[in-house]
Amino acid sequence: MRITLIQVDKTDENWLKEGVLKYETRLKHYIGFETVTVSLPGKFRTRSENEQKIEEEKLLLPQIEKLDYLILLDENGKQPSSVEFADFLGKRMNESRKHIGFLIGGPFGFSDNIKKKANYTLGLSCMTFSHQMVRLFFVEQLYRAFTIQRGEKYHHP
């Protein structure tokens, strides 16, 4: 099985890049993992909210068509504990999923077409975080899920 994190636009802050890289490197000991960054055209953020969602959709659809199972990261999604998330991920692996994708959209969320393609919507917190910070929090939680599944000492309930 492979996991792909698809994100809109690059991470700007070096400290976030370093943190994400740390957990991406750790994840590769457990599973095939990659990050795909979809770049936005110039002056993109000057467009209306709806125009931005539509443009993001055009860029994201080719990426998600390759997936076996799509999970949107959205503040309105289900918010499992770390142990529940590890169990959820384990169940997807037992279903023989070949390629699971997690998608972090832009600041206005996802278009209706993207939402319709999703198999699940995951929330990391009731609080709102920048999309760049969500990347770090997510890869850490993904790493944590694999250590929980294997009974390793990283997670302390």
The CATH number that applies at residue 45 is: 3.40.1280.10
Structural domain includes residue 57:
yes
Residue type (1 letter), 107: P
Structural domain includes residue 29:
yes
Summarize pLDDT for 17-43 with one digit per residue, the tens: 999 999 999 999 999 999 999 987 777
Residue 88's nearest CA partner among 135, 139, 145 is 145
Domain that holds residue 7: 2-149
Structural domain includes residue 139:
yes
Residue 131's nearest CA partner among 46, 50, 56 is 56
Residue 7 has pLDDT above 90, yes or no: yes
Q: With beta carbons less than 8 A apart as the criterion, state whether 16 and 135 touch.
A: yes
Structural domain includes residue 6:
yes
Residue 48 has pLDDT above 90, yes or no: no
The angle at the Cα of 155, spanning 150 to 157, to the nearest 5 degrees, equals 115
- pLDDT confidence of residue 47: 79
Higher pLDDT, 142 or 157: 142
- pLDDT confidence of residue 74: 92
Residue 151 has pLDDT above 90, yes or no: yes
What are the distances in angstroms from CA 71 to CA 33, 64, 80, 88, 151?
15, 10, 14, 12, 25
- pLDDT confidence of residue 52: 84
Structural domain includes residue 90:
yes
Structural domain includes residue 24:
yes
Structural domain includes residue 157:
no
Number of domains composing the chain: 1
Structural domain includes residue 156:
no
Q: With beta carbons less than 8 A apart as the criterion, state whether 151 and 144 touch.
A: no
Summarize pLDDT for 56-69 with one digit per residue, the tens: 899 999 999 889 99
